[in-house]
Amino acid sequence: MALKDTNGKPLNGGRLVAALDVGTSKVACLIGRVDDHGGLVVKGMGHRVSRGVRGGVILDMDQASSAICAALDQAEQVAGQTIEDVIVNLSAGSPRSYILDATVPLNGSGVQQSHIDLALGKVSERIDLGKKTLVHIFPACYSLDGTLGVNEPLGMFGENLSVTLHAVVASSGPLRNLETCIQRAHLEVSRVVLSPYASGLATLVEDEKELGAACIDMGGGTTTLSLFVRGRMVHAEVLPMGGDEITQSIAAGLLTPINQAERLKILNGCAFYTKSDEAEFIEIPKLGNAEEGERTLIPRSVLTRAIEPHMQNLFGTIARRFKACGFEGSKANRVVLTGGASQLTGVRAYAENVLGKEVRLGRPIDVNGLPEAARAASFATLVGLLKYVIQAPLEVGEARIPRFSQTGEVGKWSRLSHWLRENF
């Protein structure tokens, strides 16, 4: 697929594209260059520990801007280039998905662009966002005379053309704070991409996106969900649960420093308790005694019992969200886990047991020149931001929707779950 810029126009060879992931645990930047064949090659990467960010929300402008500058400077030094704008992810603002439908008569004629624009115009009359911002809006599917699965209707014949759009909205305040923070780092925001969308683009293979799959990105401050079918994202949401909660719980329960709690989670933790944990002992440093070096032995079961309730809460919530949005049935059986917290021992098996679906662990794929560090699951969102330029279908822009406005109150749109149940 040819590369496009954020307005859908082809990108010229030699142009730089930069992605910025502002997360709770880290801030990371990737710089890619468009080659003469329309491909994208990574030229530089930088990442730093995040500061002033929690759950995707900017809490301290100065700290967050400083972390962004540090990650950007590192990426620019590696690439030997200076960038002016970035594609950035969004997890904050309580993003919500909506499915909107519209039908226009064709009277037996072939589908023309004017028919599609008319259908989009009908949809636009129902969009009223208030203090929210439209983050994404793109066709989920077209249908002719009730026949679903039409990817490109132009030139096809029928009596009625129906367009189903997927819109994602989020509160404007957190987005404005994010953009302001990035501008303080002397960058402009060329495009905002929802974090779960980017993670899905980075880790799902084409067959999964076509046949139907869910991507769960387990980050430090949030866990994001995205559903894909027929090659397009049809649902996304962000849960305020992440791996940092587990670390905090371990630190508080075992009275050990937070950095040691994170290390214990990674090296000795497991998503669920087993009887064998009682017989295995691990050594932990005590809180406030770093200079004295005081350490103590505990059964591994103390650690796993501290972790498992968080897994129960997280995947129980995800199971309920899947059911509520219609991701159920024999065709809704594929889940990909990614993100740093997905690397916890036993998490795949635990997810399969709770969700009742086939689960695999996913990492970023199919990007030329990607550094080894960026191939880790924790960089899925970052890599997906670059892949958005390559893979994402063209979204519906203001010029394509008459009377479209990004202000107003969210209206009563058709329920997503009905559409998903019909399509899975």
Backbone angles phi, psi at 209, to 5 degrees: -65, -35
What pLDDT score does 418 carry? 54
Strand order across the 223-229 sheet:
232-239, 223-229, 213-218, 334-338, 358-361
Q: Answer for the pair 219, 340: CB distance below 8 angstroms, yes or no.
A: yes
Query: What are the DSSP calls for 33-47, one per residue?
Result: EE-TTS-EEEEEEEE
What pLDDT score does 14 carry? 72
Lowest mean pLDDT among 24-33, 78-87, 163-172, 202-211: 163-172
Query: What are the DSSP calls for 121-185, one per residue?
Result: HHHHTT--EEEEEEEEEEEEEEEETTEEEES--TT-B-SEEEEEEEEEEEEHHHHHHHHHHHHHT
What pLDDT score does 124 carry? 66
Q: What is the mean pLDDT of residues 319-348?
A: 92
Higher pLDDT, 361 or 287: 361
Higher pLDDT, 403 or 273: 273
What pLDDT score does 107 carry? 83
Q: Answer for the pair 238, 174: CB distance below 8 angstroms, yes or no.
A: no
Q: What is the mean pLDDT of residues 331-348?
A: 94
Q: What is the mean pLDDT of residues 14-22?
A: 90
Query: Which H helix or E strand runs over 295?
Result: strand 295-299
Q: Kindly report the three-state secondary structure assignment for every residue of 332-384.
A: CCEEEEECHHHHCCCHHHHHHHHHCCEEEECCCCCCECCCHHHHCHHHHHHHH
Q: What is the mean pLDDT of residues 376-385?
A: 95
What pLDDT score does 191 carry? 92
Six token digits for residue 93:
């603002």
Q: Answer for the pair 75, 16: CB distance below 8 angstroms, yes or no.
A: no
Domain ranges of the chain: 96-170+397-423
Q: Answer for the pair 129, 169: CB distance below 8 angstroms, yes or no.
A: yes
For the chain, what is the radius of gyration of the CA atoms?
23
What pLDDT score does 293 carry? 65
In eight-state DSSP terms, residue 255 is: T
What percent of the chain shows pLDDT beyond 70? 87
What pLDDT score does 120 carry? 76
129 pLDDT band, cuts 50/70/90, is: confident
Higher pLDDT, 261 or 137: 261
Is the model's pLDDT at 290 over the cut of 60? no
What percent of the chain shows pLDDT beyond 90? 55
Architecture of domain 96-170+397-423: 2-Layer Sandwich (3.30)
Lowest mean pLDDT among 36-40, 52-56, 267-271: 36-40
The whole-angstrom separation of Cα 89 and Cα 258 is: 27
What pLDDT score does 127 carry? 66
| Four-CA torsion 277, 278, 279, 285, nearest 10 degrees | 80
What pLDDT score does 409 carry? 36
The three-state secondary structure class of 235 is: strand
Lowest mean pLDDT among 259-268, 325-334, 358-367: 325-334
Residue with tokens 């329309």: 38
| Interval 219-250: pLDDT, tens | 999 999 999 988 889 899 999 999 999 999 99
Q: What is the mean pLDDT of residues 285-301?
A: 77
Identity of residue 183:
Q
Contacts of 196 (CB under 8 A, 6+ apart): 215, 217, 224, 225, 226, 233, 236, 237, 238
The whole-angstrom separation of Cα 205 and Cα 228 is: 11
Query: Which H helix or E strand runs over 327?
Result: none
Q: What is the mean pLDDT of residues 306-332?
A: 92
What pLDDT score does 151 carry? 76
What pLDDT score does 138 carry? 80
The whole-angstrom separation of Cα 105 and Cα 234 is: 25
| Interval 48-72: pLDDT, tens | 999 999 988 999 999 999 999 999 9
The whole-angstrom separation of Cα 334 and Cα 336 is: 7
Could you tell me the maximum CA-CA distance found in the chain, to the nearest angstrom? 84
Lowest mean pLDDT among 76-90, 286-300, 334-348, 399-413: 399-413
Q: What is the mean pLDDT of residues 295-306?
A: 91
Lowest mean pLDDT among 77-81, 97-101, 137-141, 292-296: 292-296
Instruction: Calculate the average pLDDT of the chain.
Output: 85
